[in-house]
Amino acid sequence: MAPGRRSSTFTRLLRHGFTDPSAAERLLDGPELSLVRDDPFLLEALGATADPDLALHGLVRLLEAQPGPATARRELLDTLIAAKPLRDRLLGVLGASAALADHLARHPRDWEALVMYEPRDLHPGVEEFERGLAEADDPVALRVAYRRCLLSIAARDVCGTTDVADTAAELADLATATLRAALRLAAAAAPDDAALCRLAVVAMGKCGGHELNYVSDVDVIFVAEPADGADEGKALRAATKLASHMMRICSETTVEGSIWPVDANLRPEGRNGPLVRTLSSHLAYYQRWAKTWEFQALLKARPVAGDLELGAAYVEAVEPLVWQAAERENFVADVQKMRRRVVENIPVSEIERELKLGPGGLRDVEFAVQLLQLVHGRADASLRSGTTLKALQALAAGGYVGRVDAVQLDDAYRFLRSMEHRIQLYRLRRTHLVPVAEEDQRRLGRSLGLRADPITELNREWKRHAAVVRRLHEKIFYRPLLDAVAQLAPGEARLSAKAARERLVALGYADPASALRHLEALASGVTRKAAIQRTLLPVLLGWFADSADPDAGLLNFRKVSDALGKTPWYLRLLRDEGAAAENLARVLSAGRLAPDLLLRAPEAVALLGDGDGGGDGGTRGGGGLQPRGRAQLEQEILAAVGRAESVEKAVTAVRGVRRRELFRTAAGDIVGSYGTEARPAEADQGALVDRVGAAVSDLTAATLAGTLRAVVRDGWGDTLPTRFAVIAMGRFGGHELGYGSDADVLFVHEPRDGVDEREAAQAANRVVSEMRRLLQIPSADPPLLIDADLRPEGKSGPLVRTLNSYAAYYRRWSLGWESQALLRAEAVAGDEELGRRFIELIDPLRYPADGLGEEAVREIRRLKARMESERMPRGADPKLHTKLGPGGLSDVEWTVQLLQLRHGAAEPGLRTTRTREALASARTAGLISEEDAATLDEAWVLATRVRNAVMLVRGRAGDTFPSESRELAAVGRYLGYGPGHVGELLDGYRRTARLARGVVDELFYGG
């Protein structure tokens, strides 16, 4: 070619997707393509393939291989140019499969097979494939004929004539025809054996399910009976020889390669059992010895070869056993355990690329579908399909899986199966690993229609679909989502009570009888309320089932619905705002605290519907569940106090706001924690802890400010005789309060000018007494306990002191632990100027200019050791005690506080009341290594999250993990551990705490 033409061609080749335009130019200039090199449609057709370079190379090889004179090559070229369907199919195959290109090079006239099946709606079945294999009279010829049939399947696949489900079905039909042909060859080689027995081949697995891959083991079971008058023993021996020979014909490698392995290991007793059994022997085994997984495997049994009447009798005989399998003890748990075991056995180096077995892979869909089939198929024959996608469609039509979920699973499964098909088609090798090489990923992406940026698009779509599969697998496989479980009025019910109970058991409800009663109470009748409930309940049941205690979720929902039954907006909110219904389900089934708070004032459910679901921190429901800042809280609380007619009503209003905001914070925490897809080590757990701690601390400060305003206004009008301030201590001062924390405080006052000190002291003490009384009056709102035990002289000292009294005490009597306690002091309510002066007073104590002497350090260590030994509850496991145990909160906080006492004067960053902030500053200042700081931070965050989780789940504070299994599972769910992974939670806590204790031993006790 002339240079100008070469440059033009080079550019066109690049534009059409060639990665090696120079090599492509040389091939186009070769003699093989001299007659068509200028045809405008050829380059376009090549560019439409998955790999234009591969397609062009394969075409040249095919042309070179054409036999005899040039007329054969000319015939191929003429047909290629004149017939677009052939051109698309042939080049499509050549661009997608190097293995089939090799076959065509060895058998150059097989391209003619691609001229057939032109009509878009014509798909070959078993009979057509049998005709294609009929002339094969030996194993080698069978392989050639098999590949010729495979060519036509691949052509329809890559050209989009068939979808992935049709392709899988055609592959299964071809396998059926091949098994029949192989058995025919085996019988022809041993006619005497064939005459002694009736042998049936029953397909299992993907072949039985009519959803085979390009390259896969073909799972089978053999059933035999003696021919008329034959001895059973001789017949079984003859059948075994025939079956073994048939397997070898398909599995052995010849000059034409192999077809695929025939695997009979799904038979009774697996490899250790006889290859062939009689029907009665099969039944005896299944009735007595079979394990759960064997019944799951039988779900796809289908007679395909040999004596089809005997095969049908086998399937008919085992079918009742399949649909009774779910009644076996621990059936659901066994199936779930088997799936987890499959994932656990994947090599670590492969799990991220494992398309079939890994999390979010094909097996996730298949196991979920099969579990629902086996559970519900007993009463619903429409679910009894061996094909995954057909079964999924039936599950959706029957209301066992949500329609949206089914569509998403269907889309994802089709995409993943298409990936699997195209990966295997390239070399016709059995693999389920996504390739790493860029050229392979590029070919794979283009074969799936991703042309703009194939590699990026492929990985994005793959990960997106895998995430959908994993999410829905967890939802369906462990807690299936149903569309219609509600017990309707007579004549309207879709299920009998027995069938509904079975579905609830599969979902994980511990008391399905009680659950049914709740459903009847909520959904029976013809009222609008009942109609909306019937729409909501199936969805809510699935969300309840995502928790560790779905029964509690349903019961709490009934209580809330009863309380708000006459409120017009309640069910409308749940029906019309998707986030509200899901958030409510998560909250009601997460434990006791949030439902208790909600049931005391059910109208707070309205919080769950605000926002667009995109709020910070991962909370669904967005703005409605975001904690409100202190200033906003104080504004609302002080306004409510100003409107109240009495101090009691004022504080009742304050406590009502506190209860609502506690619910808001708890609900946001629950929804955010349960909604994250990340594993515990990946999520920003520290941010979750900080958000809760800050929210509860701000709320406590606002509550105290409002209560103080109410008490002062009631007793003295606008002005108290003494200035008065509340100083937060402990976790309160550190902005680290949990849901069940008391408010640790100090009270300081200073008489106003001209006011007698005794009068001022009496007023201050009266304020404190009234605040404590009003905040603890029994009511529907949770009490707030005020703890002032950290004051000078502890419980023996005065409850309130003047600023001068504090100064005198600290100057003369202050102990080391008091300086340590003051590290968290922060003014939170009352007279701001007095609070500021108190902080200025104590700063030299908590940040001593000369640091700490060795004796002071030894005293702190002795005090810490004594506290560990004296305060640990009897019988508690120290390794799981989040506060006092090794590596727990106390260990981390005392270590950080020792650094603050020693270095706070010199390092301004250490002058903070917040533990994590001080730890980060110590790391920045070089007082602790980055690794040690991270270890302590992780332990502190985890222990705090566990304490929050325990309070949310049990409704009362606790420093240890719950002993009751459901409560422990609920704690695990809050912390991101899925069903069956509680052991990992405990092991993870012990490991984290142990590492932290090592750092504490070095820095606190040894440093």
Task: Give the CATH number of the domain where residue 299 resides.
Answer: 3.30.460.10
Mean pLDDT of 951-974: 91
Domain boundary among 326, 359, 388: 326
- Can you give the CATH number for the domain in which 860 is found? 1.20.120.330
Question: Do 879 and 983 sit in the same domain of this protein?
Answer: yes
774 and 898 fall within a common domain:
no
Reference 99, options 423, 418, 432, 414; nearest CA is 423
What is the predicted pLDDT for the residue at 922?
A: 96
- Identify whether 152 is part of a domain: no
Domain assignment of residue 180, given as a range: 173-326
819 and 890 assigned to the same domain: no
Is 64 a domain residue? Answer: no
pLDDT confidence of residue 216: 92
pLDDT at 618 (0 to 100): 32
Contact 815, 872 (CB under 8 A): no
Quote the tokens at residue 861: 């260590």
- Residue 999 and residue 867 share a domain: yes
What is the tens place of the pLDDT at every residue in 594-610? 999 998 888 889 888 75
Which stretch of 23-27, 506-510, 666-670, 943-947 has the lowest confidence by average pLDDT? Answer: 506-510
Query: What is the rounded average pLDDT of the residues 970-978?
Result: 88
- Amino acid code (one letter) for 319: E
Mean pLDDT of the region 428-436: 94
Is a pLDDT exceeding 70 seen at residue 965? yes
Same domain, 515 and 410: no
Residue 627 DSSP one-character state: P
pLDDT per position as a tens digit, 384-400: 999 999 999 988 876 56
Other Cβ atoms less than 10 A from the Cβ of 348: the count is 6
- For residues 581 and 28, give the distance between their C-alpha atoms in angstroms, rounded to a whole number: 63
Give yes or no: residues 464 and 496 share one domain: no
CB 579 within 8 A of CB 671: no
Mean pLDDT of 864-875: 84
The residue from 458, 478, 498 where one domain ends is: 478
Residue, of 538 and 262, whose pLDDT is higher? 262
At which of 326, 361, 387 does a domain end?
A: 326
On whether the CB atoms of residues 50 and 446 are closer than 8 A, the answer is yes
Mean pLDDT, residues 553-574: 84
Q: Is the pLDDT assigned to residue 611 strictly greater than 80?
A: no
Residue with tokens 């089934």: 589
- 137: which residues sit within 8 A by CB, 6+ positions away? 185
pLDDT band, residue 564 (cuts 50/70/90): confident
pLDDT interval class at 176 (50, 70, 90): very high
> Does the structure show a pLDDT above 80 at 285?
yes
Residue 683, pLDDT above cutoff 50 = no
pTM value is: 0.59
User: Could you tell me which of 364, 356, 582 has the C-alpha nearest to residue 470?
Assistant: 364
DSSP 386: S
| Structural domain total, the chain | 5
Whether residue 664 sits in one domain with residue 741: yes
Residue 932 within any structural domain of the chain: yes
Rounded to an integer, the average pLDDT of 527-555 is: 77
The stretch 323-342 carries a mean pLDDT of: 80
Cα four-point dihedral sign 731, 732, 736, 741: positive
Residue 160: the pLDDT is 87
Share of the chain above pLDDT 90, in %: 63
- pLDDT at residue 679 in the model: 44
Output the pLDDT for position 7.
Answer: 60
Whether residues 411 and 266 share a domain: the answer is no
Q: Could you tell me if residue 806 is inside a domain?
A: yes
* 8 has a pLDDT exceeding 50: yes
Contacts of 733 (CB under 8 A, 6+ apart): 727, 744, 824, 825, 826, 828, 913
pLDDT digits (tens, 9 = 90+) for 467-509: 999 988 876 665 332 222 222 222 223 445 565 677 677 778 8
Is residue 694 in a domain? Answer: yes
Q: Are residues 858 and 942 in the same domain?
A: yes
Report helix, strand or coil for 802: strand
Residue 226 lies in a domain: yes
Q: Residue 413 above 90 pLDDT?
A: yes
Mean pLDDT of all residues belonging to the chain: 88
- 841 and 858 share one domain: no
* Nearest by Cα to 502 from 379, 342, 337, 633: 379
36: in domain: no
> Could you report the per-residue pLDDT of 927-938, keeping only the tens digit for each?
999 999 999 999
991 and 889 housed in the same domain? yes
- Which residue, 335, 323, 404, is CA-closest to 368? 335
Are 740 and 886 within one domain?
A: no
The residue with tokens 């104080």 is 634
Residue 632 in any domain: the answer is yes
